[in-house]
Structure 1
Amino acid sequence: MLDISVVTTLYRSASYIPEFYTRIKKSLEKLGLTYEIIFVNDGSPDNSLEVAVEIQQKDNSVKVIDLSQNFGHHKAILTGLSHTSGELVFLIDCDLEEEPENLETFHKEWLKNEGKFDVIYGVQQEREGTFYRRIAGDLFYKFFNMISDEKIPKNPCTIRLMTKRYVNSLLEFKDQNVFLAAMYEKVGYNQKPYVIKKTYKGSSSYNLFRKVALMIDGITSFSSKPLLIIMVSGFSISILSLIYAFILIFRKIIFQSIIGGWTSVMVSIWLMSGLIIFSLGIVGVYISKIFNETKDRPITVIRKIYK
């Protein structure tokens, strides 16, 4: 068995791959470890695959896994992890926002704790990027931890050093709707955060729509609280409606009058209709997830492995 496996995913990464490979290989050799480097091409529309394969043809320690299409960052990561053979696994993005040399720091930290931790993962002290990116990130983690059964650390990074047994346990999860931040915590084991400096490159493959979709996936995969909120809301509205009905009856009997108002009626109808449709939408998301899980499909399809 190898000492360590390095896993990274490729999506519009062609310009970063050569430098990433050179730097991570230098760190591996400096540590004196036997290793493999696994590139997972997640249906990248540029020539990332060609660049990675060219490196693989010159270095037998490199493996390139080519997925048949873009399945998403998290699913590509799990695919890469499933093909590792090292006693340790180092996961990192290849876009150089996370410095490859962090491998040396993480490995030193792991040795210093004498294998006490199965995971050492990177976190940012302060989120980098635009004001919108920082605020949106903060709100995401606060909202998720407020509503989810599984709590996740604030500002986690992709980069992490893991033991093989932890990775094997992670791969036992067969979720079709993958949200790694929560899955990492759900696996358990002793995990230690390590503050790193992450450089924001000014762009991200996660646009607003994908971030919202990821948040919905994460919450509905790890919490049933939205359904509980629907039930409590429905019960509360029913109680308030009953109270209001008694008030109207009382006014009719005692004062021989009922509060009129076409506007208030229409507002009530629109409000209730919106709540009903919104509630049905939440229930629909859960039903959709149940439907997807019962299909038992593979999370990715591998077109070819270059090794």
Structure 2
Amino acid sequence: MKLSIVATLYQSAPYVAEFHRRASETARQLVAEDYEIILVNDGSPDQSLALAIELTQVDSRVVVVDLSRNFGHHKAMMTGLAAAKGDRVFLIDSDLEEEPEWLGLFAEQMASRSCDVVYGVQARRRGGFFEQMSGALFYRAFRMLTGINQPNNIVTARLMTRRYVDSLLLHKERELNIGGLWVVTGFRQVQLTVNKHSTSPTTYSLSRKFSHFVNAVTSFSSLPLVLTFYSGLLISVSALVYIVYLSVRYAFIAAPPDGYTSIIASIWLFSGLIIFFLGVQGIYIAKVFSEVKRRPYTIIRQIYANPGQQDPLQ
């Protein structure tokens, strides 16, 4: 098979039919009928699954992978990539904010640049001032803390070769961050500037964005642990210097004045730092705990396909 198109479904009912039509037309222009469309239902609460199953009845190239519950966007994407069999794999969101027609542009770039990945980046991040500022801070902090050069405003849409997808699937993290994995997998990757539309409200709240940032950093870097060590060392040295200062002052100048406020403030400060540092270490311990259990990062409830279509996971 020459091409696999992979997309996830979550609150995607208004877009499923249109996505299928546009993705199919673009795929036919590129590889005729030698393609498949894999839709991964990530526990969508609306009618996305029912509509996708209807597509399998009228189009033998559509395969629906129904997960047993909502596992998250990144894990659902990895499950879809594992099911893809094409020589090239086009990963894209199904909400039409990313255009299925980009496939043709990406394919041209892949052929002319002889690369393994062509991925999209937004010319300008959507949303207001806070959305743009928080996005810029996320990418800058992520690069600084992990050393991974992930581009700003990257989107889901990307065209990948078979060897790149096979290498990407070698990563077996349970608490995965696919954005970082895209980069660390390597190979020759080329970015293409795109204009992402705004057709649906975001499902990422501020708390989810912060949780995503913490997971991304702790998945690829031990720098926060190193920083806690140096912070503790700095605090200890500072305390030692202050003790020496007080001893010299008491011996040669005068007894230091009593200070209830300064004592309480110091206790609160250092108690907070201790709890914070323990929390950072706790996050890493929790990730180790999650990894050693070796639980599958998704569970497939059922695969829907035309009776003549081979099970993509066999």
Q: What TM bracket, shorter-length normalisation?
A: over 0.9
Relative distance call for 1:202 and 1:84 in structure 2 (3 A) is closer
- 1:58-105 per-residue CA deviation (whole Å, 9 max, x = no partner) reads 100000000000000000000000001100000000111111100111
Contact 2:3 2:31 in 1 (8 A): no
Letter in 2 for 1:139: L
Structure 1 vs Structure 2: percent identity of aligned residues? 46
- 1:179-227 per-residue CA deviation (whole Å, 9 max, x = no partner) reads 0111011100000011011012351111111111111111001000100
Map of 2:247 onto structure 1 = 249
1:255 CA displacement: 1.6
- 1:217-270 per-residue CA deviation (whole Å, 9 max, x = no partner) reads 110010001001100000000000000001100111012311321001100000
Letter in 1 for 2:97: E
Map of 1:112 onto structure 2 = 112
Larger mean Cα displacement after TM superposition, 117-126 or 256-265: 256-265
Relative distance call for 1:201 and 1:130 in structure 2 (3 A) is farther
Larger mean Cα displacement after TM superposition, 153-162 or 203-212: 203-212
Runs (5+) with no aligned partner, structure 1: none
In 1, distance between residues paired with 2:140 and 2:198? Answer: 22
In 1, distance between residues paired with 2:65 and 2:265? Answer: 56
Using the size of structure 2 for normalisation, the TM-score is 0.95
Q: Give the RMSD, CA atoms, in angstroms.
A: 0.9
Map of 2:35 onto structure 1 = 35
Map of 1:273 onto structure 2 = 271
1:289 CA displacement: 0.4
Using the size of structure 1 for normalisation, the TM-score is 0.97
In 2, distance between residues paired with 1:191 and 1:267? Answer: 52
1:117 CA displacement: 0.6
- Partner-residue secondary structure (3-state), 1:9: strand
Map of 1:126 onto structure 2 = 124
In 2, distance between residues paired with 1:256 and 1:197? Answer: 69
Contact 1:9 1:40 in 2 (8 A): yes
Q: Which runs of structure 2 are paired with 1:83-122 in the superposition (5 Å)? A: 83-113=83-113, 116-122=114-120
Map of 2:82 onto structure 1 = 82
In 2, distance between residues paired with 1:202 and 1:73? Answer: 16
Letter in 1 for 2:212: L
Contact 1:150 1:223 in 2 (8 A): no
Runs (5+) with no aligned partner, structure 2: 306-314
Q: How many residues align?
A: 304
- 1:161-187 per-residue CA deviation (whole Å, 9 max, x = no partner) reads 000110000000000111011101110
Contact 2:2 2:31 in 1 (8 A): no
After the TM superposition, which parts of structure 1 deviate over 3 Å for at least 4 consecutive aligned residues? none
Map of 2:303 onto structure 1 = 305
In 1, distance between residues paired with 2:111 and 2:153? Answer: 25
- Partner-residue secondary structure (3-state), 1:160: strand
Letter in 1 for 2:164: Y
Letter in 2 for 1:232: Y
In 2, distance between residues paired with 1:237 and 1:63? Answer: 58
Contact 1:129 1:202 in 2 (8 A): no
